């Protein structure tokens, strides 16, 4: 199985800060990496697909980069409404679909 | 606006079969551009993909659950369903249905599912307990 290591598991930041979350795959997954935001009691919301593509309607302060095994998710200027848990998710053609452990983002 | 809605019993006894249905509205489950999947999340934990189906009936399952999972589709009702057999307390979770795209592989020219989930249902909690 492909293992996904997401870090940090929790993060505290101030409004306006630049926030970065990383996800590392145990083997090359090309650009098959997606990012989701989940607020308490709600379904996950797709933010970034295929490593760097911004889903329609998602604010441009969210971005993603990377390929192969190392990926980064960035919020350029943290807003109060961004408080949530963020998950990376990888897939391949077998198919194997796995999610990272999640990063809980809080306001400092 | 596409909407997905899960329905089914909220309580299932150990060793029995969990059955859920996802009703799709605002769009056709028979679209050639999408697959339909199930994902679950135990309380306070992370997300796990269960499996997916195309309107033709082609299915893809998580290898770790494959022996217990059946996903089916009813295009006349615009619904797809999940059955998970021999449940235990470890199967207690919020179950989500979701949509993900189908696209043509540049290298092979064949269509294949791509696993990013762009529309989700609100989720339904299923508790396994006697």
B71-120 per-position pLDDT tens digit: 999 999 999 999 999 999 999 999 999 999 999 988 889 999 999 999 99
pLDDT grade for A1, boundaries at 50, 70 and 90: confident
> Which of A56, A84, A95 is the mutation pick for testing B, counting most B CBs within 10 A?
A95
In the predicted model, what is the mean pLDDT of residues A22-42? 96
| B130 min Cα distance to partner chain A (Å) | 25
Distance CA(B50)–CA(B37), nearest Å, equals: 7
Task: From chain B, pick out residues whose CB is under 8 angstroms from the CB of A45.
Answer: 120
**Cα nearest neighbour of A9 on chain B:** B46
In the predicted model, what is the mean pLDDT of residues B55-63? 96
Sign of CA dihedral B52, B58, B62, B68: positive
Q: What percent of chain A has pLDDT over 70?
A: 100
Task: From chain A, pick out residues whose CB is under 8 angstroms from the CB of B114.
Answer: 32, 50, 91
**Cα nearest neighbour of A102 on chain B:** B46
Q: What is the DSSP secondary-structure string of B74-128?
A: ETTTTEEEEEE-S--GGG-EEEEEEEEEEEE-TTT--EEE-----EE---EEEEE
A56-102 pLDDT tens trace: 999 999 999 999 999 999 999 999 999 999 999 999 878 889 999 99
For A95, what's the count of Cα atoms within 13 Å in the CB-facing half-sphere?
21
Task: From chain A, pick out residues whose CB is under 8 angstroms from the CB of B98.
Answer: 43
B60-80 pLDDT tens trace: 999 999 999 999 999 999 999
């Amino acid at each position: 199985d492909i293992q996904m290591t997401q870090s940090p598991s929790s993060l505290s930041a101030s409004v306006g800060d630049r926030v970065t979350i990383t996800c590392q795959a145990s083997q090359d997954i090309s650009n098959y990496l997606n990012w989701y935001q989940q607020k308490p009691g709600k379904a996950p919301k797709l933010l970034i697909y295929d490593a760097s593509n911004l889903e329609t309607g998602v604010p441009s302060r969210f971005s993603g980069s990377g390929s192969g095994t190392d990926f980064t998710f960035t919020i350029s200027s943290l807003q109060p409404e961004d408080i949530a848990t963020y998950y990376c998710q990888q897939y391949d053609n077998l198919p194997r679909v796995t999610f990272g452990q999640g990063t809980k983002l809080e306001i400092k | 606006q596409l909407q997905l809605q899960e329905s089914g019993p909220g309580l299932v006894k150990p060793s029995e079969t969990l059955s859920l249905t996802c009703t799709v509205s605002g769009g056709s489950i028979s679209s050639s551009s999408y697959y339909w999947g199930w994902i679950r999340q135990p309380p306070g934990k992370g997300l796990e993909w269960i499996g997916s189906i195309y309107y033709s009936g082609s299915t893809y399952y998580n290898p770790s659950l494959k022996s217990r999972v059946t996903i089916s589709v009813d295009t006349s009702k615009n619904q797809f369903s999940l059955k998970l057999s021999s449940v235990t307390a470890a199967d207690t979770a919020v179950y989500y249905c979701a949509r993900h795209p189908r696209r043509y592989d540049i290298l092979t020219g064949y269509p294949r599912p791509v696993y990013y989930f762009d529309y989700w249902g609100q989720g339904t909690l299923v508790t396994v307990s006697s």
